[in-house]
Chains A and B, each alone.
Chain A
Amino acid sequence: MFEIVKNITFTEYKEIINIIKTTYNVDFVNYATASLKRRVERVYNLYNFKNVEEMLAKIKADEEFFDAFLKETSVPTTEMFRDPQMWIDLKEKVLSKISPRSEYKIWVPEITTDEELFTLLIVLYEMQILGLTKIYASTNIQQNIEKIKTGVLDIKKMETNSANYTRHNGDYQLSKYFDLEEKRAIFDQVLLSKVEFKFNNFFDINHIDSGFNLILFRNRMLYYNPNLQNKALDIVYNSLQLNGHLIIGINETMDGSVHQTKYSLISKTENIFKKIR
């Protein structure tokens, strides 16, 4: 049952954000307030803190708790094959045209849960181009990487996932890629082993890689304010090869950003962009 926790005021919220910045150099200042505040309140509730001071002290003193805090405040990626038309367009307009002679580098930044990654692996496998690709997934949350590596999904999610798989015109049944148990679905470990996980902070410029052919960055900028969105767009732009593709969420936008003119739109409804300068 959904409960509203109202223990944290805007002032207290700011205090928490500041402590995190000074203790761990993780900068939430420019995150979108509405969702992050709610998620901080969620953690507060989950751990039954009696007051904000107690939570602040725990964040400062306990690095392991802080990783758990990051995991709980990060937003999961809902469902496999979310927006099936995007995956169709990605196949038809981008992946069917890649060169069989060179390595194709893909980056999934700020990954929180497994759905987007599993979907990508299945798409590449069915197109028989998995061998050509090098996939990187990055996050600064160790617990999220560990969770994804187990390949475990809640069986309750499989109905939606399977329906989406069918909508995207998959070649088989989604169950082909899973061991199904009573409560869990476990993803194919051979496919999963194709992913290289990187544990780093997306906004730390010392870690930025480049030369990617494709960056899958859907529904991650939702949690940033406009300033941080611009910074994120700088990072993905610089990481992308010329003629490489960037995909953002269908309700995200580059409007008003300096980067808008540096891309051409490959799929208007699905927000698939190609870097042209």
Chain B
Amino acid sequence: MRSKYIIIGGSAGSFQAITKILSELPKNYNIPIFLCLHRLKHVRTGFVEALSIKSKLPIIEPKDKEMIKNGRIYLAPANYHMYFELGNYFSLSTEESVNHSRPSIDLSFLSAAQVFKNNLIGIILSGANRDGALGMKEVKDYGGITIAQDPEECQVKTMTTAAIKATTIDHVFIVDEIINYMKNLQ
């Protein structure tokens, strides 16, 4: 079986969902997970530490051109877009903000879709803008699996409903179902 990759996008109201997901994943979870979460541009530190509290897996902000390794969780660093290259490594970018965001969920999802194609699972969580909707469409168009957090469960449902409108969503899940799905991928 080809190796899988999971990319998760989230904004306002996604922190709780993310920490719950991270706390439930076992220590030997092997699939690389990319987190693209809206965050303050000028605050570089603290986010990884906050996410790490409940995670059994190491969380890393990748450096430019860092190799992607299994069993790690990667968080898009503040004030950079996070891209993926053929050859299994990251590229960072300081291109213009998209949807007022850098990192942009759309750009990360688009890049991941082009590189990982049908080996990619795209997950969109709670958020207050439309970032990620087009990215989810790209994941779907390139043959990946799309999952949206159930808008009814989201603290702010703008982001998930935008994604649901933009493309075919394979699964609309509450967080517990997302966790089960992720665990069963191994």
Q: Which residues of A contact B (CB under 8 A)?
A: 2-4, 32-35, 38-39, 75-78, 82-84, 160, 163-164, 167, 219, 221-223, 225-226, 229, 249-253, 255
CA distance A141 to B161 in the complex (A): 43
Interface residue B152 (Cβ < 8 Å from any Cβ of A) = no
Q: Which residues 68-122 of B sit at the A interface, judged by CB distance below 8 A? A: 77, 79-81, 83-86, 91-96, 98-99, 102, 104, 106-107, 110-111, 114-115
Categorize the interface residue count of chain B. 35 or more
Identity of the chain A residue whose Cβ is nearest the Cβ of B133 in the assembled complex = A2
B26-49: CB near A (< 8 Å → 1, else 0) gives: 000000000000000110100000
Q: How far is the CB of A23 from chain B (nearest CB, A)?
A: 25
- Which of B91, B98, B137 is close to A35, meaning CB atoms less than 8 Å apart? B91
Q: List 27 A-B contacts (CB under 8 A).
A: A2-B106, A2-B134, A4-B110, A4-B134, A4-B137, A32-B65, A32-B83, A33-B85, A34-B83, A34-B85, A34-B111, A35-B81, A35-B83, A38-B110, A76-B95, A78-B79, A82-B79, A83-B44, A163-B42, A164-B42, A225-B85, A249-B64, A249-B94, A251-B77, A251-B80, A252-B63, A252-B64
Q: How far is the CB of B156 from chain A (nearest CB, A)?
A: 20
- Residue contact A251 to B85, C-beta cutoff 8 Å: no
- Residue contact A222 to B93, C-beta cutoff 8 Å: yes
B51-73: CB near A (< 8 Å → 1, else 0) gives: 00000000001111110000000
CA distance A84 to B83 in the complex (A): 25
Q: How far is the CB of A30 from chain B (nearest CB, A)?
A: 12
- Residue contact B85 to A32, C-beta cutoff 8 Å: yes
Interface residue B138 (Cβ < 8 Å from any Cβ of A) = yes
- Residue contact B42 to A4, C-beta cutoff 8 Å: no
CA distance A75 to B137 in the complex (A): 26
Q: Interface centre among A35, A39, A160, A219, by most B CB within 10 Å?
A: A35
The answer to whether residues A229 and B111 also contact, given A2-B99, A222-B93 and a CB cut-off of 8 A, is no
The answer to whether residues A221 and B64 also contact, given A35-B93, A251-B77 and a CB cut-off of 8 A, is yes
Residues of B within 8 Å of A2, CB to CB, are 98-99, 104, 106, 134
Identity of the chain A residue whose Cβ is nearest the Cβ of B99 in the assembled complex = A2
- Residue contact A78 to B134, C-beta cutoff 8 Å: no
Residues of B within 8 Å of A33, CB to CB, are 85-86
Residues of B within 8 Å of A83, CB to CB, are 44
Residues of A within 8 Å of B102, CB to CB, are 78
The 10 closest A-B pairs by CB, nearest first: A34-B83, A32-B91, A35-B93, A2-B98, A253-B63, A219-B94, A34-B111, A34-B91, A78-B94, A222-B64
Q: How far is the CB of A214 from chain B (nearest CB, A)?
A: 21
- Residue contact A226 to B65, C-beta cutoff 8 Å: yes
- Which of B64, B86, B99 is close to A251, meaning CB atoms less than 8 Å apart? B64
CA distance A4 to B111 in the complex (A): 11
CA distance A75 to B83 in the complex (A): 15
CA distance A130 to B93 in the complex (A): 31
B145-171: CB near A (< 8 Å → 1, else 0) gives: 000000000000000000000000000
Identity of the chain A residue whose Cβ is nearest the Cβ of B98 in the assembled complex = A2
Residues of B within 8 Å of A32, CB to CB, are 65, 83, 85, 91
CA distance A245 to B54 in the complex (A): 40
Identity of the chain B residue whose Cβ is nearest the Cβ of A252 in the assembled complex = B64
Residues of B within 8 Å of A229, CB to CB, are 65
Q: How far is the CB of A219 from chain B (nearest CB, A)?
A: 5
Identity of the chain B residue whose Cβ is nearest the Cβ of A81 in the assembled complex = B42
- Residue contact A222 to B91, C-beta cutoff 8 Å: yes
Residues of A within 8 Å of B107, CB to CB, are 38
- Interface contacts beyond A35-B81, A35-B95: sample of 15 additional A-B pairs, CB < 8 Å, sorted by A: A3-B134, A4-B106, A32-B85, A75-B94, A76-B95, A77-B94, A84-B42, A160-B41, A219-B94, A225-B65, A249-B94, A250-B44, A251-B92, A252-B64, A253-B65
